[in-house]
Amino acid sequence: MELRPKQPTRKGPADWFTGDVWIDPVAQGQAPSQLSVGAVHFTPGARTAWHSHDGGQTLYVTEGRGLVQSRGEGARRIRPGDVIHTPDGEEHWHGAAPDHFMTHITITEGGPHWGPHVTDEEYRRAEQ
């Protein structure tokens, strides 16, 4: 057994996010595993850029309200207790509602592929 100290909270990079986002790393798999688990905290209106993950991504919403959308589909509102699974390679984004903070646990099995930022217009359409 190994007890690991909590890693410092870090600000999400501007290349990946619009708005203020904070990431708390939780766990990294031991090679050859690429498992990654983290708690991601979004301020109101903050969101990821379009992206996909090798091996897919599972989100577990722990607090607040948010939005999630896969490319070519309508956006969906998310709340605490919701579990969202995005399959391997599916382009999507997720973030906080415009008037709420949102935190989710993210579980990924492979690396991300980052695309363009979600525009303000795309976000406005998603919140309707």
Q: Tell whether 2 is covered by a domain.
A: no
By CB atoms closer than 10 A (0-12, 13-18, 19+), residue 94 is buried
| Residue 60 in domain | yes
Global pTM value: 0.94
Write b or e for each residue in 23-59: b if 16 or more Cβ atoms lie within 10 A of its Cβ, otherwise e: bbeeeeeeeeeeebbbbbbbebbbbbbbbbbeebbbb
The tally of domains found in the chain comes to 1
The answer to whether position 115 is within a domain reads: yes
Indicate if the pLDDT at residue 127 is higher than 90. Answer: no
**92-116: per-residue pLDDT in tens?**
999 999 999 999 999 999 999 999 9
- Any idea what the CATH number is for the domain that residue 107 is in? 2.60.120.10
Reported as a single tens digit per residue, the pLDDT across 15-44 is: 999 999 999 999 998 889 999 999 999 999
Domain span at 50: 10-127
32 inside domain: yes
- Indicate whether 4 belongs to any domain: no
Residue 66 domain-assigned?
yes
Query: Average pLDDT of the chain?
Result: 96
Task: Assess if residue 68 is contained within a domain.
Answer: yes
Q: Is the pLDDT of residue 4 over 90?
A: no
- At residue 45, the pLDDT reads 98
For residue 75, tell me if it sits in a domain: yes
